Amino acid sequence: MSDTNSLTRNPVWNDFGRTCRSVCGTNNNMGTVFWMFSLLAFPVLESAKILTVSLIGGSHYLLLDEISNNLHQRGHEVRMLLQLGNPVITGFSYAGRADSYQMTTWSMGEDYVTEYNGWFMEQQTQFLLGRDNFTTFLNFMGHLSYQCDRLLGDQEMMTFLQKERYDITILDAFNPCSFILARKLGIDYIAFHPGTLNSPLSMALPSPVSYIPVFGSQLSDQMNTWGRAKNLFYSLLAPIGQELVWSTFREVAERHFDSDSPPGGLEELHQGAELWAFNTDFSLEFPQPLMPYTVLVGGLLNKPAQPPEQDIELWISNFGEAGFVVVTLGSMVSSVSVDSLLVELVAGFSRIPQGVIWRYDPERWPSHLDRPPNLRLMDWLPLNDLLGHKKVRVFVTHGGQNSLFQAVYHAVPVLGIPLFGDQFDNMVRAKTKGLGLTIKPTHITRELLSSTIQTLSQDIRFKSSALSLSRIHKSHPVPPALRLTQWVEHILQSGGGAHLRPASLTQPWYQRYLLDLVLLLSLGLLGPVVICLTCWKNKNSRDQHEKIQ
């Protein structure tokens, strides 16, 4: 980048500057010498070209947008590949940021986007009815693999990306297509996972089943005998599930690679990452072993709150010390399509003294349902600013990872209504840590909803736990955004992450768990016993034969 502000944000440039100032001094003449040396050194200090890949949208895009902007602010040349319309977020625009990173958009076309978003809306209804299962997840992966096939087949786009010759790409590790795309382009890649460490896809992390919950188990790290048995069962199913996911992408990968070079599977693609970054930290995560190639950067979207717009502030003031409640069921859920559930939610909110500001598309509000005077609908919320407001009392959330970390950052107790995916496990963590309580959507009644909100707002234990978690999160010596950018720069400066990957990643599974050694020891110990038993049996047989004779 050529502007001075971008250069001075570059870490290498800053190191060079400090060295020159220590040698040349700080007077005007020496300052001139410093800038002369700086300009001569500029070609050596050229910033990296980085590609970020966002193919899903929603909260995944919000994270990659933040990452892209942070890298741009550090002086790197950043371009995002963004897939549009996947899915549509009501009230939000993918316009990017002015004077920040570059963006290249790609779309499946209006007809497919309409069809896909229709399917997604149908799935939302099923989630609200408590019908989330692995088949739904596989269907979702099937859609992603079809989109992947179309993207890899777009020769104009692929040629454009290949000609750019990026130094590295940062991809959304939730979508297997991102890995396939990076491999196709021949670019080293850093995997950013938008969720917790116990992902539905194996990340090759040490995961003792005795105390680390497997994805989907809805267990905490404090397991009894039955809990450990359940966790073991889920751990045995995990490799099967991963193979089923890869089966939806295998044909796509084989079609777009030479016959002798297609990826061998998700595990191989995951192991090829130079670094793994996870959108979590130990303020919410259960403690567990990590590998050198992992870095935790939870809370990328957290920022000090700004005062809300004047009309929102005026609305909040109407409720005095009772304060207000923030409600959002995620960036992709802008309405409640189950009428009976919506009725109970509205009736429950009408019973509490707080104001309720709800992210809900006003155009989708049923005409037959009256809105109580304490309820305000908005198609998009300034969530960070509302959670940082001094009069917020409770946050009603679906349990998405970004939402929970914003609640932790601002120390707001949460009421979780998990709908699908990792949200159930996320709320187990939040409940175990004392941050809040959970109600399944199928269990919601107006009485339970209103009483739970009042418990969260009046029981000091929840606010105390939220404040404790907030202190833990904020007291990390390096903020998450800077933490990630520094690790990216470390990978760039060191020529990759090979020095961070242990030999266990390339070992066969039976060697990794010493099963071959166990077999050899078993044979060594049992062999003499078997020989002795055989000899003894043969001797007894001979003795009996001699007696008969």
Instruction: For residue range 476-519, list pLDDT tens digits in order.
Output: 999 999 999 999 999 999 999 999 998 888 888 788 778 888 98
Per the CB < 8 A criterion, the answer to whether 334 and 361 are in contact is yes
Residue 73 burial (CB count, 10 A): 16
* The pLDDT value given to residue 455: 97
User: Which residues of 181-283 form beta strands (DSSP E)?
Assistant: 189-193, 275-278
Read off φ and ψ for residue 357, nearest 5 degrees.
-110, 120
Q: Is the pLDDT of residue 433 over 90?
A: yes
Of the candidates 113, 78, 110, which has an alpha carbon nearest to the alpha carbon of residue 96?
78
The model's pTM? 0.86
Read off φ and ψ for residue 392, nearest 5 degrees.
-75, 140
Residue 99 structure tokens: 């004077």
Q: Which of 24-38, 191-205, 208-222, 328-342 has the highest mean pLDDT?
A: 208-222
Q: Mean pLDDT, to the nearest integer, of 349-360? A: 96
Residue 525 burial (CB count, 10 A): 9
The H-assigned helical ranges of 272-393 are 310-317, 339-350, 383-387
Q: Mean pLDDT, to the nearest integer, of 311-324? A: 95
Which pLDDT band holds residue 93 (cuts at 50, 70, 90)? low
Beta-bridged to residue 81, according to DSSP, are 53, 104
pLDDT: which is higher, 480 or 523: 480
List of residues 6+ apart from 194 with CB closer than 8 A: 59, 60, 63, 172, 173, 174, 279, 401, 402
Q: Mean pLDDT, to the nearest integer, of 338-359? A: 96
Q: Is 549 helix (H, G, I), strand (E, B) or coil?
A: coil
Q: Is the pLDDT of residue 35 over 50?
A: no
Distances (CA, A) of 393 to 397, 398, 409, 443, 467: 13, 17, 14, 23, 13
Range scoring the smallest mean pLDDT among 108-122, 268-282, 367-381, 535-549: 535-549
The H-assigned helical ranges of 224-379 are 225-255, 266-271, 310-317, 339-350
The residue whose two tokens read 């970390």 is: 405
List of residues 6+ apart from 61 with CB closer than 8 A: 54, 82, 94
Per the CB < 8 A criterion, the answer to whether 326 and 383 are in contact is yes
Per the CB < 8 A criterion, the answer to whether 61 and 92 are in contact is no
Tell me what percent of the chain is helix, strand and coil, each rounded to the nearest 5. Answer: 55, 10, 35
H/E element, 240: helix 225-255
Q: Is the pLDDT of residue 330 over 90?
A: no
Which pLDDT band holds residue 307 (cuts at 50, 70, 90)? very high
As a whole number, the mean pLDDT across the chain is: 87
- Give the total residue count for the chain: 549
Which pLDDT band holds residue 20 (cuts at 50, 70, 90)? very low
Q: Mean pLDDT, to the nearest integer, of 52-67? A: 92
Per the CB < 8 A criterion, the answer to whether 450 and 351 are in contact is yes
* The pLDDT value given to residue 549: 61
